[in-house]
Chains A and B, each alone.
Chain A
Amino acid sequence: MAKANVKRKVVIYRDWCKQCGICSTFCPTGCIVKEEDGYPFPRYIEKCIGCRLCELRCPEFAITVEEWEKSK
């Protein structure tokens, strides 16, 4: 799954996040974790497979997963 030439970014817009915990709980790779302050953070971004389930299940439109090809 983890394509070597792909880079990913998971942008979480904290101003809209209501800390429901859905994104971190259901992230299949454990990329997103709930921090001590209650907000989610993509701490293990290298694990992200770009499935975008976090984005689809966020009730707040607060997550955008970005993906692009790494330049050599």
Chain B
Amino acid sequence: MTTPNRIILDKYLRHNKKFPHIWCPGCGIGIVLAALLRAIDRTGWTKDEIVLVSGIGCSSRAPVYVDFNTLHTAHGRALPFATGIKAARPPLKVIVFTGDGDCAAIGGNHLIHACRRNIDITTVVVNNYIYGMTGGQQSPTTPEGMKATTATRGVIDQPFHIAELAASAGATFAARSTTYHAKELESFILKGLEHKGFSLVEAISQAPVCFGRRNGMGDPVEMVKREKELAIPISKTAGMTFEEKKDKIVTGIIEEREAQEWTDLYAGVKKTAGEE
């Protein structure tokens, strides 16, 4: 049974914050945050042992609303802060909540190196294909041909696929789902939280105001329908060419494997160095 909304309201939302939250009507960020909160509830972890870290962006505002140890850092730098926290206090459960711009543009370098270290942090990325907060500039995930304020005639660059990027950089768990598939999204986040090592869950999300509107995608409902139509489970992609997959949303667990985790390795180094 998934956690009832009543528990989310009572236990996890900060009651001194103004609700409804700041996000635009129908924006998917709230759906992703709700999925994260339900997944957290299922782990049985206490709020005091959880640290939620974000950078800057509409997505990165999420920690403001929830009652954990939270850190709202500088644009692109959630992972370096999270890495510092985890290195200093390995027993803490460190979670990063970020956006496609925050983690794949300005923070892209931090992302690949966090993956490479396989440090035990779970990163949830809201991929709405755009820099939402600043009004709709092209991000590294904006699909080719789509319009943005900085690509008024359509994007000519190839997009990153964040989950695959993370997996090839060394993340030992990487998965993708969408706000339409909120239940699956929750289950992937739960797997990511329980995974030992670096885990990343990419949540494809609708941004009706700063992205959909400019690209004639209709209202939030139409955008969510689009996720449903474009989604294809990874199990059905065998034999598909890159071109055939290009315009789809491949959902599922992209990577799941075991490898030595960084804070364990570092503890070993400290021991041999005589620091105990």
| Cβ-based interface call for B34 (8 A) | yes
CA distance A26 to B179 in the complex (A): 12
CA distance A19 to B221 in the complex (A): 11
Beyond A59-B30, A59-B31, whether A53 also contacts B182 by CB under 8 A is: yes
For B220, the chain A residues whose CB sits under 8 A away are 20-22
| Cβ-based interface call for B27 (8 A) | yes
| Cβ-based interface call for A35 (8 A) | no
Cross-chain contact B182 with A16 (CB below 8 angstroms): no
- Among candidates B23, B25, B182, residue contacting A56 with C-beta atoms closer than 8 Å: B182
Which secondary structure dominates chain A's binding surface? loop
> What is the distance, in angstroms, from A30's C-beta to the closest C-beta of chain B?
15
For B9, give the chain A residue with the smallest CB separation: A61
CA distance A3 to B221 in the complex (A): 30
Cross-chain contact B20 with A15 (CB below 8 angstroms): yes
| Cβ-based interface call for B120 (8 A) | no
CA distance A39 to B9 in the complex (A): 21
For B182, the chain A residues whose CB sits under 8 A away are 53, 56-57
- Among candidates A15, A16, A19, A57, residue contacting B31 with C-beta atoms closer than 8 Å: A57
Cross-chain contact A61 with B35 (CB below 8 angstroms): no
Cross-chain contact A21 with B26 (CB below 8 angstroms): yes
| Cβ-based interface call for A52 (8 A) | yes
Instruction: Point out which of A58, A59, A61, A62 has the most chain B C-beta atoms below 10 A from its C-beta.
Output: A59
Show the binding face of A for B, using Cβ within 8 Å: 15-22, 25-26, 52-53, 55-65
Closest 8 interchain pairs by CB? A59-B30, A20-B26, A18-B25, A56-B182, A64-B5, A16-B20, A20-B220, A25-B221
